[in-house]
């Protein structure tokens, strides 16, 4: 089984926590890390804006990634770059074994 990693971000810590709990309760993910980050944006007028955001690292299986993505996009506003899905095949043997538990429960 391959592991998929979804990277999603939101500006609100409470929303990040609620989304993590929701995905875990719906068995759409096995592990989720929520990390506070600083995002720097260059504005068209040449100034740089800094904002605090929360990055969710969501580990799931290929079979669940489509449904997880749908649920994420219903709960957080989508902007370019706010959601990235990575295939971590061959890099995550332990997680692959644990992900099989999502299907067996």
CATH, residue 61: 3.30.70.120
Copy the structure tokens of residue 45.
């007028």
Residue 15 lies in a domain: yes
Task: List the domain range (segments joined by +) for residue 38.
Answer: 4-100
Count of CA atoms in the C-beta half-sphere (13 A) of 77 = 5
Residue 105 lies in a domain: no
pLDDT in tens, the chain (105 residues): 578 889 999 988 999 999 999 999 999 998 899 999 988 877 777 788 888 989 999 999 889 999 999 999 888 876 656 788 877 766 555 555 566 666 554
| 45 dihedral zone (left: phi>0; alpha: psi -120 to 50; beta) | alpha
């Amino acid at each position: 089984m391959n592991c998929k990693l979804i990277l999603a971000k939101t500006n609100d810590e409470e929303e990040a926590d609620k989304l993590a709990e929701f995905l875990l309760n719906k068995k759409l993910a096995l592990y989720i890390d929520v990390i506070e980050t600083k995002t720097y944006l260059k504005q068209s007028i040449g100034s740089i804006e800094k904002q605090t955001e929360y990055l969710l690292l969501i580990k799931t299986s290929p079979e669940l990634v489509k449904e997880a993505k749908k649920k994420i996009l219903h709960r957080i506003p989508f902007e370019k770059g706010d959601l990235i899905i990575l295939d971590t095949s061959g890099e995550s043997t332990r997680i692959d074994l644990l992900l099989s538990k999502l299907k067996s429960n």
